[in-house]
Structure formats: structure tokens, C-alpha cells
Amino acid sequence: MRKLIICFFLAFALLITQFIILEFFVIQPKSTYATGSHFFIDTFGGSLYVSSSSPKLLHDTIAQNSSGEGDRIYLEDQFSITSTSSFTIYLPIVINNQLPPSKIYWTNWVSGGPHEILQANLDGSGIKKITSGLSSVDGIAVDTKGGKIYWVDHWINKIQRANLDGSGVEDLVTTGLFIPRDIALDVDKSKMYWVDSGTGKVQRANLDGSEVEDLVTGLVQPISIALDIAAGKMYWTVDIREKIQRANLDGSEIEDLIIGIDDVNYPAGIAVDEYGDKIYWVDYGVDQVRRANLDGSEIEDLVTTGLSSPAHIVLHVSAGKMYWTDAGTDKIQRANLDGSEVEDLVVGGGPAGIDLGF
């Protein structure tokens, strides 16, 4: 009987080790590690914890980047190290339940036909149609954790969603819209945010479309929206008034960050790098990709050639990359976050909204 019990536990332990291995990663001591500090991990899967009497979760997902190397892991809040010895992080690694490769998702305007949502690998290969027969889709947001894609349709004035494979299309918000342009998600709070050029509003609702709220009203053609969840802020572009603005997530404390044709012409898609403290946007008035500090200071022109009506932008901060769509060149392109090494990923079609997912 004892041998049977021992054999059972040995078999169980072997089975467990096929799925989880406990690795150790050492951080050198420093008085304080601030929010946004990062470390390189040479493997992926699982969760990142600091060793202590009560382990602190630092990041709940670890994924490979496009080159197959470990991602940079960012701290979600501040912690201190006072020990003079090295500091150990415990990393459970999932072996047989690996995260799938990273993907680009985008809305595609088909000339003379129904619009569609497509998917590809981060290098633009492996293009796959997710769903078709849509009216006039624009901004898109991917909830990988929930297995959903969300988009706005400014022809039929709806917010819709579907499974990541395109099945199970649902109407979420069908009233009170008039030219919705872009959408962003706060998955942890089960909220979606969008801008509507026709109504001049920033609004939000639950992810199922219930409890719609007006957050900001009286805007003139807001185009795009991005969230900085950690800081409790949302950013949006207003192309006619040549503005980039921000407010708290409840719509309070509205600020003008960048105003005027010298600094911003016709800003369209916007994205936030909450770890690098930067906002990025595409400007179809001057056909450029630009960035600035979160307060709008220190504007930089990153990509200044080869663009013609850039539309939307998304960041892959951990890989040091930005991706954007261009309605004039019919391209999806990417570059380093400083604008160097521009690449054509997808050529043809009519790419509009863009997001990344796994």
C-alpha cells in the first residue's frame, strides 16, 4: 500500500512538473524601484512575484516578443529594496499551456464592398479574415483575456463585439450614437470608452453595453481615444480644433495639452506609453507620427516621410515598437518607438483601426 501511495505521488509530481517550473530571477538591490521600472525575463508564461513574506504581484502576464525573446516586465506599482543582497523574483513558468503568438488586429475598409476585420502576425505575415460584411468599421480594441474584439461602426452607429475568431457578433450600444470613431477598454473595471464625432462626446459603458455614461460633452469632432489606466487618465484627439486633451476617467479635470496648427494640425489616432510617460499620435494634416510628454511638452516628430493620411496607432512598448495604419498609402507600418527602422507590414486594402492581441 505504501509503495502504491509513493508511486501515486511521484506520478502526480511528474505530471505537475510538465506544466509548471519554478524559476528564480535576481534583481540587484536598489533603494526604490518606481512604477515603470523593467526587467528582462528570458522565458515566458505565468506570473511575476517578488519574494517576501507576502509576495507582491508585479505583472500578471509574461509573453514572448516577436523575436522569441522574453518581454520586458514592468512594475505595476512602486516597491523598495533595502537589503544589501540580491533580490529574488519567483517566476512560475507554464510549459504546456503557452501563450499564443502576438497578433495585429485591424479594421479594413474594402472599396465598393462590406468592411471587415483582419488579423496577422506581428511581422504582417499570416493574414487571416476574422469577420466580414460590416458597414463602416473604424476604431478597434482587443480584449485578449476575455477573448473578445470590440469595434465601432460609424455608418450604422453601433458598438459591436465578437469572439477573437469572429464568431458570435453582438450589438452592444445601438442608440444615442452618431459617427462613433474610436474605442478603448479598461478590462479590469469591465468598462469600454469611446469618442463620437457626431455627438461631440466621450462616453463609457460596461463591456456588455449597459449603463452608458456621458463623460465629456461639447467637443468638436473627437477622433481617437487612449487610456492610461494606472494614472486614471484618458486622452483624446480633436482634429477640427487641432487639440489633444485629457481628463480623469470620470471626465473631470479636462486639460488642453497641445493646441494649434504649429504643434498639432489634424491629430487622429492616439496611444499612451504609461511606462515611458509619453503620448504618441498620428497627424494626417502634416502626415507624421509624433510624440510628447504626457503633459504635452517636448513634442518630437518621429516619422516624417512616406505617410499619407495616417489613421490610427498602437504601441507594443515591451518590444519597443509602434504600429500604425495609413489610409492614403493603404499600409500597416511599424517602427521603433523613436521612429527609426520603419517597416511595411501589410500593403493593400484599406486599414483603419488597429490593436494588438495574443
What sign results for the dihedral spanned by CA atoms 186, 293, 224, 101? negative
Q: Which amino acid is at 209?
A: G
E strand or H helix at 36: none
Cα(1)–Cα(222) distance, integer angstroms: 72
* Cell of residue 272, nine digits: 499612451
CA dihedral 111, 115, 118, 123 (to 10 degrees): 30
Which domains can be identified in the chain, with CATH numbers?
Answer: 2-94 (no CATH), 103-357 (2.120.10.30)
* pLDDT (0 to 100) of residue 309: 95
Task: Summarize pLDDT for 195-220 with one digit per residue, the tens.
Answer: 999 999 999 999 999 999 999 999 99
Least trusted range by pLDDT, from 20-29, 133-142, 162-171:
20-29
Return the DSSP state at 76.
S
| Strand pairing category for 191-196 and 180-186 | antiparallel
E strand residue ranges, 230-320: 233-238, 243-248, 255-259, 267-273, 278-283, 288-293, 300-303, 310-316
Task: Summarize pLDDT for 6-35 with one digit per residue, the tens.
Answer: 443 334 333 333 333 333 333 343 334 444
Q: Which of 65, 124, 112, 133 is nearest to 324 (CA)?
A: 124
Q: Which residue has the higher pLDDT, 50 or 303?
A: 303
Name the pTM for this structure.
Answer: 0.75
Task: Summarize pLDDT for 76-95 with one digit per residue, the tens.
Answer: 334 444 443 333 343 333 22
